[in-house]
Homo-oligomer: A and B are copies of this chain.
Amino acid sequence: MSAEAKLKELGIELPPPPGSAGLYSPCVRSGNLLFIAGQIPQRDGKPVAIGKCGAGISVEQGAELAALCTLNALAIVRNHLGTLDRVVQAVRVGGFVASAPGFVQHPQVINGASKLLLDVFGDRGKHARAAVGMAELPAGVPVEVEFLFEVA
């Protein structure tokens, strides 16, 4: 099934593609690689949560926020390529989790991003990943996720 058809089947509507929080581009293509800038859990340009995992933000909330980062990334991909169906493979996910002292469940948080990629793209959603714990993140958000896709 195509990614766009799958998205419809899942009842997911992508948000408008978010702009940048600085002097960078939402995505840049080199050859068949499409690099997506680090996405934060924002809606209409505003962070939907502030805080750290392990201090006010639960693993489940963190995973939902990672999924929202992914929706924002997919909106950028579709805006750039015209359709998600030109994604050949999700290649790499970089997951950054703002972590209170002792919070070590970064994989469970970033699974929120990974699961959405697998749900939408199936085997083409399989990706390598690094998930790590940060001291702080931009604007005080609990999660930031960056993405690398192979595209046609």
Q: Say how far A23's CB is from chain B's closest CB, in angstroms.
A: 4
Q: Report whether B32 and A31 are in contact in the complex, using a CB–CB cutoff of 8 Å.
A: yes
Chain B residues with Cβ below 8 Å from A110 are 22
Partner of A38 from the list B35, B90, B91, B129 (CB cut-off 8 Å) is: B129
Q: Is the CB of B137 within 8 A of A134?
A: no
Which residue from chain B places its CB closest to the CB of A116 in the assembled complex?
B23
Check if A18 is an interface residue, CB within 8 A of chain B.
no
Residues of chain A touching chain B, judged by Cβ–Cβ distance below 8 Å, are 21-28, 30-33, 35-38, 89-94, 96, 98-99, 101-108, 110-111, 114-115, 118, 126-140, 144, 146, 148, 150
B38–A136 touching, CB < 8 Å: no
B144 to A22, Cβ gap below 8 A?
A: no
B111:A23 contact, CB within 8 angstroms: yes
B114 near A22 with CB under 8 A, answer: yes
Question: Which of A22, A134, A136 has the most chain B CB atoms closer than 10 A to its own CB?
Answer: A136
A128 B37 Cβ-Cβ under 8 A: yes
